[in-house]
Structure 1
Amino acid sequence: MKIIDLYILKRYLATFTVMLLMFIPIGIVIDVSEKVNKMIENKIPFPAIAMYYLNFTIYFANLLFPIFLFLSVIWFTSKLANNTEIIAILSSGISFTRFLRPYIIGASIVSIGVLLAGFFIVPKASEGFNDFRYTYLKGGGKEAMRKSQDVYRQLGDQTFVHVASVNSVSKVGFNFMLEKFDKNNKLQYKITANRIKYNKKKKNYTLFTYQRRNVGPLGDKLTSIEKKDTVFNFDFEDLTPTVYIAETLSLGQLNDFIARERKRGSGNIDTYLVVLYKKYSLPVSAFILTIIAVSVSSMKRRGGMGMNLAIGIGIAFTFVFFDKIFGTLAEKSSIPPFVAVWLPNFLFGILAVYLLRNARR
């Protein structure tokens, strides 16, 4: 049986690799055909384009790996079924569960690879991919990378900042306000300015039409200065992190970032949690989809491999559709991110158990 295990495992990994090598170039060609005009208009240097497509390859291979994995298992298992190899294996007294062992080993190898890539490799690729899109291709450019209107941030346990509008390119904010409270939630002082500018070289801030109101028990003290240079314990980027910041952080960085954002009262916590939970849920889907694929394709059908592929494509795209829909609902509605991210795996896990029981019979 070890020979058969090795045979199936090799086919599993080889077919999955071939699927990646087949479809990723197709995706690159389609992407180039859509963006070539903008690339020429913006006179993007070739090294930047080459790096973008390297990041594109990693980003989309990780994003669509469930489809590639599912189709590859359907493909080579259907060939085994059509060649009556599966019938021969099961007729020798081997149970269907035992027949699944090399598939589970293959899914484990792929899952570990996807898990490690999601922790360390994909974040860097995501950063390069999104930076290129927003810098050269997306309308609004670098301004669209960050929230620019009505920015509210909690910078510490008792410190709150509001900026009416932000220009992240020139690092200027308008209608700036900072409020500091004591432990009893009583206002200690309030700073306002018509404009705040970050000075990159000096690493400080210049506030224009600066006003500070110190709140005292016997009366308030008001200080007004036309222009004041000062230092705050936050970076300008802290006010408006990029919209895709969570995708660009490794696991440790992402956990630290989420903890900081919770303290700051960020309204995007659900978005960040979706990214975190998907780092774990995506590798688990490899096992679920492998079991579904084997259960669907291990039987001979009148339509042959074409029928199995049609069923497989339908199931694979349904899974990706559910994954995207529930991820978006978690970000935009009251559905808990953990539930939304793991629900597709739960539903398709039930389907996998059902199909597996039918396949055994």
Structure 2
Amino acid sequence: MKIIDWYILKRYLATFFVMLLMFIPIGIVIDVAEKINKILDKKVPFVKVAAYYGDFTIYFANLLFPIFLFLSIIWFTSKLASNTEIVAILSSGISFTRFLRPYIIGASIISVLALLMGMFFYPAASKGFNDFRYTYLSSKEVRKTTEVYKKISETETVYVSSFSYTTNSGYNFKLEKSKVNKDKKEDKELDYIINANSIKWNPKDSTYTLSGYKKRTIGKMEDKLESESSKTFKFNFKPDDLTPTIYAAETMTPQELNEFIDGETKRGSGNLNAYLVVKYKKWSIPVSAFILTTIAVAVSSMKRRGGMGVNLAIGIALAFIYIFFDKIFGTLAEKSSMPPLLAVWIPNIAFGILAIYLLRNARR
């Protein structure tokens, strides 16, 4: 590498990490000011508060990664442009593509760090951050699910309109049991259906009490019906199967996430989009470092009448648009039929096209 490469690369990395060190303490101060009353009221031990803000640092840095990257590159590249250093570099015969090389090397380093953080550090930090928030700071229930439809075995499927992990109870329970057709092994016939107005988990003996119990057994000539006001059963599923934590996907390592998705897929479970979105984001975020770097250089490498302020305004706007795209398409993938892979990569595809366009204009 030449002197100019080291010069730009050092400023790239130094500005990025200084930006992190500047904004993370600000985020912590704001968070402390907002939550200090609840922390004092609930007398949360200092050790847990300190651990929470350690997790908060990683969580916050990962969440605002695009903004930090954009601002740091635009900041020091705008200074290079205002000091006519870029003009001098290009006038010496170095092409704009060659000028980009140290930026791409810097983006590679940041990309590897983002990948390692997303794979190994972020899951644990996310668990600590969310556990603390829901345990001490939030009035919301962390494990309450609605409209659960889950296949618990090859022949059994359960449905419950809502289930609360706190009260160990749910409403509008339904279990469908099938049997394999002896003549056609691939076909399954409905054996019986169990309905109940409510279901309650009994942790002492690992049983469930069904209120408003009704069972319909399918017969060849006629069905058999039975009903009771209350009946206790031992099913082969646990409350954890009905109520995963709402942030469970974020807390899994890649191996745990893949094993969970494979297991649920084999069981025929639906609604895995939230887990697939997290899985694909672990790879899309590192790639975004290259796209965002290219856009930031293209935007800030020219002198503008408004100076650095205009470049920073453009950078902040683009960074927030990127985060908006990322959040909106991620939510669409979780709540609709949009393919998670496409939803996760749409922001990178859209901003990749923008990067190519801006880069071509910058070369001119």
Q: Same fold (TM over 0.5)?
A: yes
Structure 1 residue 265, shift from structure 2 partner? 5.1
The one of 125, 145, 166 aligned to 1:169? 166
Structure 1 residue 273, shift from structure 2 partner? 2.0
Task: Determine the structure 1 residue equivalent to 2:319.
Answer: 316
Q: Residue by residue, what CA displacement relative to the aligned partner does 1:196-223 show, whole Å, maximum 9, x if unpaired? A: 5545565x32435677665555776778
Structure 1 residue 322, shift from structure 2 partner? 1.8
Q: Residue by residue, what CA displacement relative to the aligned partner does 1:298-333 show, whole Å, maximum 9, x if unpaired? A: 122222222221221122112112222222222233
Instruction: Answer whether contact 1:134 1:145 (CA < 8 A) is retained.
Output: no
Task: Determine the structure 1 residue equivalent to 2:78.
Answer: 78
C-alpha separation in 2, matches of 1:220 and 1:150: 28
Task: Determine the structure 2 residue equivalent to 1:38.
Answer: 38
Task: Determine the structure 2 residue equivalent to 1:20.
Answer: 20
User: Partner of 2:207: helix, strand, or coil?
Assistant: strand
C-alpha separation in 1, matches of 2:275 and 2:339: 12
Instruction: Answer whether contact 1:193 1:207 (CA < 8 A) is retained.
Output: no
1:333 aligns with 2:321: no
1:258 aligns with 2:261: yes
C-alpha separation in 1, matches of 2:21 and 2:32: 17
Task: Determine the structure 2 residue equivalent to 1:306.
Answer: 309
Structure 2, gaps ≥5 residues long = 181-186
Instruction: Answer whether contact 1:196 1:205 (CA < 8 A) is retained.
Output: no
Instruction: Tell me how many residue pairs correspond in the alignment.
Output: 356
Structure 1 residue 154, shift from structure 2 partner? 1.1
Alignment of 1:84-103 (within 5 A): 84-103=84-103
- Judging changes above 3 Å, is the alpha-carbon distance between structure 1 residues 108 and 218 closer, same or farther for their aligned structure 2 residues? same
- Judging changes above 3 Å, is the alpha-carbon distance between structure 1 residues 71 and 165 closer, same or farther for their aligned structure 2 residues? closer
Task: Determine the structure 1 residue equivalent to 2:209.
Answer: 207
Structure 1, gaps ≥5 residues long = none
TM-score by length of 2: 0.88
Task: Determine the structure 2 residue equivalent to 1:245.
Answer: 248
Structure 1 residue 42, shift from structure 2 partner? 2.4
Instruction: Answer whether contact 2:150 2:270 (CA < 8 A) is retained.
Output: no
Task: Determine the structure 1 residue equivalent to 2:179.
Answer: 182
| Residue identity matched to 1:180 | K
Task: Determine the structure 1 residue equivalent to 2:271.
Answer: 268
- Judging changes above 3 Å, is the alpha-carbon distance between structure 1 residues 165 and 270 closer, same or farther for their aligned structure 2 residues? closer
Aligned-residue Cα RMSD (Å) equals 2.5
Instruction: Answer whether contact 1:198 1:236 (CA < 8 A) is retained.
Output: yes
Of the structure 1 ranges 248-257 and 12-21, higher mean CA displacement relative to structure 2 is found in 248-257
The one of 282, 286, 290 aligned to 1:287? 290
User: Partner of 2:160: helix, strand, or coil?
Assistant: strand
- Judging changes above 3 Å, is the alpha-carbon distance between structure 1 residues 185 and 106 closer, same or farther for their aligned structure 2 residues? same
The one of 137, 143, 146 aligned to 2:144? 146
Structure 1 residue 224, shift from structure 2 partner? 7.9
C-alpha separation in 1, matches of 2:59 and 2:17: 16
- Judging changes above 3 Å, is the alpha-carbon distance between structure 1 residues 264 and 244 closer, same or farther for their aligned structure 2 residues? farther
C-alpha separation in 2, matches of 1:358 and 1:47: 53
| Residue identity matched to 2:312 | L
| Residue identity matched to 2:113 | G
C-alpha separation in 2, matches of 1:101 and 1:22: 27
Of the structure 1 ranges 267-276 and 19-28, higher mean CA displacement relative to structure 2 is found in 267-276
The one of 157, 160, 181 aligned to 2:157? 160
User: Partner of 1:100: helix, strand, or coil?
Assistant: helix
Structure 1 residue 156, shift from structure 2 partner? 2.0
Structure 1 residue 235, shift from structure 2 partner? 2.7
Q: Residue by residue, what CA displacement relative to the aligned partner does 1:101-146 show, whole Å, maximum 9, x if unpaired? A: 1110110111111112111211111111112222222223xx3432
1:350 aligns with 2:353: yes
Task: Determine the structure 2 residue equivalent to 1:109.
Answer: 109
TM-score by length of 1: 0.89
| Residue identity matched to 2:339 | P
